[in-house]
Amino acid sequence: MRLSAVPVVALAMLTGCATPPPPAVDHRAEALKQVQAAEAAAIQAFGKRDAGQSASLYASDAALMMTNMPIVKGEDIKPLMKEMMADPNFSMTFDTQKIEASKSGELGYTRGAYTLTSTDPKTKKVVRESGKYLTVYARQADGSWRIVDDIATPDGPAVPVDAKK
């Protein structure tokens, strides 16, 4: 059986003549601004100890990973925020050191340092924990940006706060 080379040559010629796909549109600059705004809103909500506002910044399928506890997901984030922020000694500050976003404009992240002050549930003493965080944001279907993954890693154990300072 003898195969004709004509179909193979024709296919090769047609494939070689195909127009390349258009270059991807770079949405990174706009996404960086939006991730920065979302991070600022989160920092403000934590600073005001606003549990409802803080929880609303997380996507419905988000994961929050904090020290010495299992991963907290979705609807369980709001009750945790309420419990944390009900502590009269609760405060959390952030120093955002990097903001990045994808070229597609769909994902971004922030990285930095945090300081958490709270009441130790066992000793009832005020303690302070310092560490690093990484927060991943994703553009939602409505165009808003929500936290989808949030992890905090302490630099060491929480230490008692000197009441005299």
Indicate whether 129 pLDDT > 70.
Answer: yes
pTM: 0.84
Helix (H) or strand (E) run with residue 53 in it: helix 51-56
How sure is the predictor about 4, in pLDDT bands with cuts at 50, 70 and 90?
A: low
Helix extents (H) in the chain: 6-16, 28-47, 51-56, 77-86
Q: What is the mean pLDDT of residues 43-70?
A: 96
Indicate whether 165 pLDDT > 60.
Answer: no
Domain ranges of the chain: 26-160
Q: What is the mean pLDDT of residues 61-73?
A: 95
Mean pLDDT of the chain: 91
The residue that leads in pLDDT, 24 or 100, is 100
Distance CA 143, CA 152 (A): 26
Contacting residues for 155 by C-beta, under 8 A, at least 6 apart? 130, 131, 132
Q: What is the pLDDT of residues 72-127, one digit of tens each?
A: 999 999 999 999 999 999 999 999 999 999 999 999 999 999 999 999 999 999 99
- The CATH classification number of 26-160 equals 3.10.450.50
